Amino acid sequence: MIANTDELRSAYKNVWVIAEVKGSKVQKVTYELLGAARSLADTKKAELWCVVLGHGIESEGQSLIHGGADVALLVDDPRLKDFIDEDQAAVLVRLIDSYKPEIVVCGATTKGRALIPRVAVISNCGLTADCTGLAIDPENGDLLQTRPAFGGNIMATIRCSNHRPQMATVRPRVMNALEPDMNRKGRIIRENLLDSEEAKLKKVIEVFHDTESSVNLADARFIISGGRGMKGPDGFKLLKSLADRVGGAVGASRAAVDSGWIPYSHQVGQTGQTVQAKVYMACGISGQIQHLVGMQSCDYIIAIDKNPDTPMMQLADVALVGDLYEIIPEIIKELSKT
Amino acid sequence: MKIVVCIKQVPGTNDAKIDPETKRIIREGIKAITNPFDAYALEEGVRIKEKLGGEVIAISMGPPRADAVLREAISVGADRGILLSDRPFGGSDTWATSYALAKAIEKIGGVDLVICGKQAIDGDTAQVGPGIAAQLGWPQATFVMALTEIGSDYFLAKRMHEDGYDIARVSLPAVITVVKDINQPRVPTLKGRLAAQKVDIPVWTAEFIGADLHKIGLDGSPTRVVKTNPPPSRHTNTMKIEGTPAECAAKLVHELRIRSLV
């Protein structure tokens, strides 16, 4: 809502985290957000609420309190089991309207990035996408939201002074979860889905979770990516065996995906996924800017290439000059030594 | 089936430079391109039309020169283009942009399906697609990898998630945003290109679409960019490893082990 005076703004209190739910379990990104939002709430001397929409989520309330929430607001209904954006948005809009949080954050996941824009439009408030930094402006208490734009080429700081709540989606794996505190106390509030909120415009008829860890780049600690220098699809089997050895995932550059060597779900970069692994190993990837923006915030970057002068070889922490088809089997061999 | 495809003109990123003074992206003199994801949106719209009949209308909001992306759309199968271009639209954030596009879609009238790319490569927000759906009060399907079935009043959308997908049956009218998996966009023919150059692209103003001036432009935008900075740079002293493959591997594994990374 428009809140362009101090009086209107003062009606909005507390910080909300909207939980990411898979099945009946709250996902890791929610705990990361609780970690970040805890300090926002403390700065504002406000409460931290975690809102969970789903089915069979009752037992999650205590864990969220242990993870930093003062209040767990649960809406447990079989009709919220599947991801039906319209219905979930309708519930959130009503809850926001009745409880008036000042700040609402949600993981910048595919669900968060579908749901929250819908809520922001209906609730008539501003929304900043895919933030990597959140802070409270010491002067006026506004939320300062920092995000990469233009494929990571600039960092923009955004505020939303005249609307409440202030909303942001936050990139997974950027914020740090708190150590669970089993002695933390909090309240659990339960709300219902109203029949009028069930729009009956969408029905989820199939859900598929890929258990193959090699595709889940989002959660991978160690990513081994191949590019044009792989010269064909077979090399990706080699990358996969190294990935299996280190418990990692296989990524790819756009060149490799467009050549049909590996599916799009593996693509890292501007038109693929942005990853934030501990280790990123780029094999035969020259390092075009569109690829770099998707992986340059990984902690430790390894490049393997015959050409020592590529942008990736310059950017890397470690650059191995040579033929990846010869080096990778040796790495696998070396790793099996203790 | 009446299909609207939303297309954004964006700067080609290879040329993106930051003005050291203003810290903003220098857009002048930079090659402008069709947002890459929007090409997939358009292709999907054209394929649906080819199968079910109907019309594909490409719309864009931007400066007058953004007519170029609409001509490009026409060259690969859009029937017509509409450009929203008017000073009051300037400075719109995703809220105001989705409002303006929704007003234009209402003005077009009788639209069954709106298709957007999953996000634009300049803002990277992915907010305008679901924003349009919310403004119109229509259902949405985002990050769509495939439309596995489409009928006169519904479709089945395979929606991409981080760890898999789901398939949703969605009522029409609706808004979808698409990812690259969905198709392989066609290349324009020379004939298509030449024909597109001659097409008249109507320019719609805020007044023409009946937009509330308090809901568009800077005034209608809840968010404000307060500053832009270059991203923190990586301080790397690259360690170069050369030698036989076995030597390289041994040195690398050593580096990983001392950092407890394996």
Instruction: Map out the domains of chain A as residue ranges.
Output: 6-197, 213-336
Determine which of B122, B163, B227 to mutate to test the interface with A (most A C-beta atoms within 10 Å).
B163
- 3-class secondary-structure state, position B155: strand
Place of tokens 């299996």: A244
Side chain identity at residue A6, one-letter code: D
Instruction: Tell me how close the Cα of A120 comes to any Cα of chain B, in angstroms.
Output: 8
User: Average pLDDT of chain A?
Assistant: 93
- For residue B144, give the H/E element and its range: strand B140-150
Determine contact, residues A163/A96, Cβ cutoff 8 Å: no
Write down the pLDDT at residue A150: 74
Write down the pLDDT at residue A173: 79
The pLDDT tens digits for A58-68 are: 999 999 999 99
Which structure tokens are listed for A149? 């734009």
The pLDDT tens digits for A317-335 are: 999 999 999 999 999 999 9
Side chain identity at residue B24, one-letter code: R
Using CB atoms and an 8 Å cut-off, which of residues 129-148 of chain A contact chain B? 129-130, 144, 148
Whether residues A130 and B124 touch (CB distance < 8 A) is answered with yes
Rounded distance between C-alpha atoms, residue A67 and residue A59, angstroms:
14
Name the more confident of A140 and B13.
A140
pLDDT band with cut points at 50, 70 and 90 for residue A149: confident
Q: Give this prediction's pTM.
A: 0.89
Whether residues A127 and B229 touch (CB distance < 8 A) is answered with no
The pLDDT tens digits for A77-122 are: 999 999 999 999 999 999 999 999 999 999 999 999 999 999 999 9
Whether residues A149 and B228 touch (CB distance < 8 A) is answered with yes
Write down the pLDDT at residue B18: 62
pLDDT band with cut points at 50, 70 and 90 for residue A213: very low
Chain A residues with beta carbon closer than 8 angstroms to that of B14: 288-290
Question: Would you write out chain B's pLDDT as a tens digit for each of its 262 residues?
Answer: 999 999 999 987 655 566 666 555 666 777 899 999 999 999 999 999 999 999 999 999 999 999 999 999 999 999 999 999 999 999 999 999 999 999 999 999 999 999 999 999 888 899 999 999 999 999 999 999 999 999 999 999 999 998 889 999 999 999 999 999 899 999 999 999 999 999 999 999 999 999 999 999 999 999 999 988 877 777 678 999 999 999 999 999 999 999 999 8
Q: Which CATH architecture has domain A6-197?
A: 3-Layer(aba) Sandwich (3.40)
Determine which of A88, A154, A238, A270 to mutate to test the interface with B (most B C-beta atoms within 10 Å).
A154
Enter the CATH code of domain A213-336. Answer: 3.40.50.1220
- Show Cβ contacts of residue A159 under 8 Å, excluding neighbours closer than 6 positions: A137, A142, A143, A144, A145, A166, B223, B224, B226
- Show Cβ contacts of residue A91 under 8 Å, excluding neighbours closer than 6 positions: A53, A75, A80, A191, A193, A194, A197
pLDDT band with cut points at 50, 70 and 90 for residue A148: confident
For helices A235-246 and A324-336, angle between their N-to-C axes, nearest 10 degrees: 20
Chain B residues with beta carbon closer than 8 angstroms to that of A120: 95, 127, 131, 134
**Residue B169: count of CB within 10 angstroms of its CB:** 18
Using CB atoms and an 8 Å cut-off, which of residues 61-120 of chain A contact chain B? 82-86, 89, 109-111, 113-115, 117-120
Rounded distance between C-alpha atoms, residue A277 and residue A294, angstroms:
11
Q: In chain A, which residue's Cα lies nearest the Cα of B257? A: A335
Side chain identity at residue A22, one-letter code: K
Give which of A290, A277, A229, A286 is closest to A250, Cα–Cα.
Answer: A277
Give which of B99, B167, B108 is closest to B137, Cα–Cα.
Answer: B99
ipTM of the assembly?
0.91
For a pLDDT cut of 90, what percent of chain A falls above it? 83
3-state secondary structure A103-122: EEEEECCHHHHHHHHHHHHH
Burial tier of A241 (Cβ tally within 10 Å: 0-12, 13-18, 19+)? middle
Instruction: Tell me how close the Cα of B46 comes to any Cα of chain A, in angstroms.
Output: 22
- 3-class secondary-structure state, position B255: helix
Whether residues A322 and B245 touch (CB distance < 8 A) is answered with yes
Say whether residue A336 is in contact with chain B using an 8 A CB cutoff.
no
Whether residues A154 and B222 touch (CB distance < 8 A) is answered with no
pLDDT of residue A201 exceeding 80: yes
**Residue B145: count of CB within 10 angstroms of its CB:** 19
Say whether residue A182 is in contact with chain B using an 8 A CB cutoff.
no
Chain A residues with beta carbon closer than 8 angstroms to that of B143: 110, 114
Rounded distance between C-alpha atoms, residue B171 and residue B144, angstroms:
15
The pLDDT tens digits for B242-252 are: 999 999 999 99
Say whether residue A8 is in contact with chain B using an 8 A CB cutoff.
no
Give which of B5, B41, B36 is closest to B147, Cα–Cα.
Answer: B41
Give which of B61, B17, B156 is closest to A153, Cα–Cα.
Answer: B17
Side chain identity at residue B56, one-letter code: V
Q: In chain B, which residue's Cα lies nearest the Cα of A325? A: B245
Q: What is the mean pLDDT of residues A20-37?
A: 96
- 3-class secondary-structure state, position A335: helix
Domain B2-215: which CATH number of 3.40.50.620, 3.40.50.2020, 3.40.50.1820, 3.40.50.1860: 3.40.50.620
Say whether residue A184 is in contact with chain B using an 8 A CB cutoff.
no
**Residue B53: count of CB within 10 angstroms of its CB:** 8
